[in-house]
Amino acid sequence: MKKEQNNSFVKEQITHALLSLMKHHPFEDITITEIVKNALVSRASFYRNFINKEDILKQHLVKLIQEWGTEFEQSKNPNFVESLFGHYLKYAETYQLLYKCGLSYLVLDTIKSVCGPKPEQENIQAYTNAWLACGLFGWIDEWIIRGMQESPIEMARLVEWSQQSNNSSPIN
């Protein structure tokens, strides 16, 4: 247990160091040496936990979205879309930093890992999940790019309105 806690602490330190460096430096210019120096951990600790610096972000985003999933399941709010946008707003600084550094594709990858297609699924289910994941990403992506102007409640209403208006007119 102590080893797991220590490892978790090391991962948090490394993640915090990278996010902090990303505020002031282009992602591609940040080195592993700078990350471990800022995190006050060894290089061995880095490679014990991560493959590369992109892996730090991938693991962090998966952790954040899993925490959201747990919170959503325990919440009284049945509105999936509102809750999801609330998550992105809660961690706006992190997500906006990813966009600033040209790493928005990591957001899509995370969404796809949670609700995207899985190899074991039948084709129709995989296609439906791909459509859902990419559609959600489209809304989230544009919302972040436009500065997250609407509240999560407003975004849920817009998504609902869009679905209703698309149901009434066929695609030409």
State the CATH number of the domain containing residue 32: 1.10.10
Residues 19, 73, single domain; the answer is no
pLDDT digits (tens, 9 = 90+) for 120-145: 999 999 999 999 999 999 999 999 99
* Over residues 151-165, mean pLDDT: 92
Least confident of 71-80, 87-96, 117-126: 71-80
Residues 24, 98, single domain; the answer is no
pTM of the model: 0.87
Residue 3 has pLDDT above 90, yes or no: no
Q: State the amino acid at position 114 in one-letter form.
A: V
Question: Domain containing 75: what range?
Answer: 57-172
How many distinct structural domains can be found in the chain? 2
Residue 116 has pLDDT above 60, yes or no: yes
| CB count in 10 Å sphere of residue 14 | 25
Alpha-carbon distance of 76 to 108, in angstroms, equals 27
